[in-house]
Amino acid sequence: MIRRFFAYYRPYRRLFLLDFGCAIIAGLLELAFPIAVNVFVDDLLPGGKWNLVVWASLGLVVLYVLSAVLTYIVNYWGHMLGINIETDMRHKLFAHIQKLSFRFFDNTKTGHLIGRLTNDMNMIGEMAHHGPEDLFIAVMTLAGSFGLMLAINWQLALLTFVIVPAILWVVVYFNQKMTKAIHQLFQDIGDFNARIEDSVGGIRVVKAFSNEAHEEAQFAVSNGRFRLTKLASYKLIARNGSISYVMMRLVTVFVMVCGTWFVIRGRISYGEFIGFLLLTNVFFRPIEKINAIVESYPQGFAGFKRYTELLDTEPDVEDAPDAVMMKPFEREIRYQNVTFGYDGEKKVLNQVDLVIRKGETIAFVGPSGAGKTTLCSLLPRFYEVESGSIRIDGVDIRKVTQDSLRSQIGIVQQDVFLFAGTIRENILYGKLGASEEEVWEAARRAKLDEFIRAQELGMDTVIGERGVKLSGGQKQRLAIARMFLKNPPILILDEATSALDTETELAIQQSLAELSHGRTTLVIAHRLATIKEADRIVVVTDQGIAEQGRHQELVAAGGVYSRLHRAQFGA
């Protein structure tokens, strides 16, 4: 874990050394001041040697300025180190999240992921900067000041040192408690990120049901829990602060009493006495700072732990090491003995066999929940088959790269997901880097060009989050335009028009028909009118594929399909 953490410093070795070096020198300078005072009181003060006093003061000024410069470097460049590491980690994590599979996102709340990428990373960045440096300086100043105290008077030094084990115990104890509290804090932050994401994302539903008060109450619960956890951790911080403060002051008083006694007995000078007292302050400073350190360490470590956990989550679907590019689709798609279930136990598909020839339009019908969408999601390898195989032109889809496989498959769904940018950006998503003419051509074929021209900003019209500023039909046309641009040989239309009114549906159907022209198309539809023309209709039920054939054949056969047909159109 520690080694893994330090690996992130590697690209910034120089920055680290600069920061570390400056911090060490600044720490050493801290030690110089008590010594200077010691010399001042013992040697300069009694003799009234003014020229020496002036020189000594000038020397001190130089030291202070140097110390200020060093502190600047540590504060700025040191934080740069932390920020760089944080940026690298965030980038790596985002890239990793992009690689994860559908199954992961099925089971993960977006808000939690956002928490990991924002809050956790801040904590790690802080620790990456302050962590090693503060720890090292703390140890160094402790050792340094103790050494000097020993040199002044070893008996007095040992008396002071007695407190160290007690304070260490407080620190360790406190650290453990704090780590627990921070874990909870992160969890809570994730929880209410998820809440916000859900409530705001679903705000239209919230309002439609007039459930604002309910949402608010739910949020108040998360918010309240966060408050309690945060309070608990600050209570810990406050308690630790006070306990260590009082312990240290007791020692100071102790040193004053003993020191006075030592002075009276002539065992140390006034200067040494004052110098020693100042050194106890330097000695205690890292311990006092431990509150701050102890606050950021558990946070950073908790964050880093969560970070590595997520980074170690393997995608469910991965390219085989020897995966090759898929060749352009030529002949057929073959499902062979395909079995699949989402949770391992309940099988959605059981030993399904199916052959789809190039150029065919094949329609899937059947009751909701029968597994039509699932059947189609297996083709682009959104999920992995449990047993059996899917082959395209005889090549198992697990043997080719996901990129090359998915570049040949286009999907248009019922709920189109559009990004919060402009119309152009959304169409371009089908083929990044397409020319302006290509984009317009795609819009024209999707019959969206007139609408775009009618907009004041044309292609640059912003469509709102998830395309809220568009009608259902327009969204669907945008999705179709995107698909024209992508131009894949295999097309999946999953209830693409189910959410539309009849008139719009008819219009969109025409565009879809044009889109599927010359492609191998898998259509899922619950309105049978839309699939009468399909080359083949496959009826999917809970028991698997019940029957398949052309419309007329299936009606004549008097099976499931004819019953569905009768239900929709009457006898």
In the list Mg ion, ligand ADP, none, the entry touching 342 (Cβ below 5 to 8 angstroms by class) is ligand ADP
Work out whether 413 is an interface residue with Mg ion (CB under 5 A): no
Distances in Å between the Cα of 88 and the Cα atoms of 8, 26, 117, 130, 274 are 8, 29, 11, 17, 48
How many residues sit in the footprint of ligand ADP (CB under 6 A)? Answer: 10
Q: Which of 124, 128, 248, 370 binds ligand ADP (CB under 6 A)?
A: 370
Site for Mg ion contains 373 (CB under 5 A):
yes
Q: Is 381 in the site for ligand ADP (CB under 6 A)?
A: no
Stretch that binds ligand ADP, among 61-69, 150-158, 252-260, 371-379 (CB under 6 A): 371-379
Q: DSSP per residue over 225-274, as a string?
A: HHHHHHHHHHHHHHHHHHHHHHHHHHHHHHHHHHHHHHHHTTSS-HHHHH
Among the listed ranges 97-105, 182-190, 300-308, 370-378, the one in contact with Mg ion (CB under 5 A) is: 370-378
Tokens representing residue 529 in the block = 């009118």
According to CB under 6 A, which residues from 350 to 369 bind ligand ADP? 368-369
Q: Report how far Cα 401 is from the mean position of its chain's Cα atoms.
A: 25
Region of 157-165, 181-189, 372-380, 550-558 interacting with ligand ADP (CB under 6 A): 372-380
- How many Cα atoms occupy the beta-carbon half-sphere of 83 within 13 Å? 6
Measure the CA–CA gap between 401 and 398, rounded to whole angstroms: 8
Asked whether position 348 contacts ligand ADP by CB under 6 A, the answer is yes
By a kind-dependent CB cut-off of 5 to 8 A, residue 369 interacts, out of ligand ADP, Mg ion, none, with ligand ADP
Name the pairing type of β-strands 395-396 and 536-541. unpaired
Phi first, then psi, for residue 549 (nearest 5°) are 160, -170
**Stretch 151-210 residues interacting with Mg ion (CB under 5 A):** none
Q: Residue 380, interface with ligand ADP (CB under 6 A)?
A: no
Strands (E), 463-506: 490-494
Decide: is 408 part of the binding site for Mg ion (CB under 5 A): no
Helix axes 50-99, 270-311, angle to 10 degrees: 10
- Rounded CA gap, 327 and 206, in Å? 47
Q: Are 527 and 568 in contact (CB under 8 A)?
A: yes
Shortest separation between residue 528's beta carbon and ligand ADP, angstroms: 15
Binding segment (CB under 5 A) for Mg ion, from list 201-209, 366-374, 474-482, 512-520: 366-374
For residue 504, the minimal CB distance to Mg ion (Å) is: 20
* 503 near ligand ADP, rule: CB under 6 A: no
Position 342 contacts ligand ADP (CB under 6 A): yes
Q: Which stretch binds ligand ADP (CB under 6 A): 36-44, 311-319, 370-378, 438-446?
A: 370-378
Bridge partners (DSSP) of residue 392 are 333, 395
Please report where in the chains the tokens 């620190």 appear, as a residue.
171
Residues that bind ligand ADP (CB under 6 A): 106, 342, 348, 368-374
Residues that bind Mg ion (CB under 5 A): 373
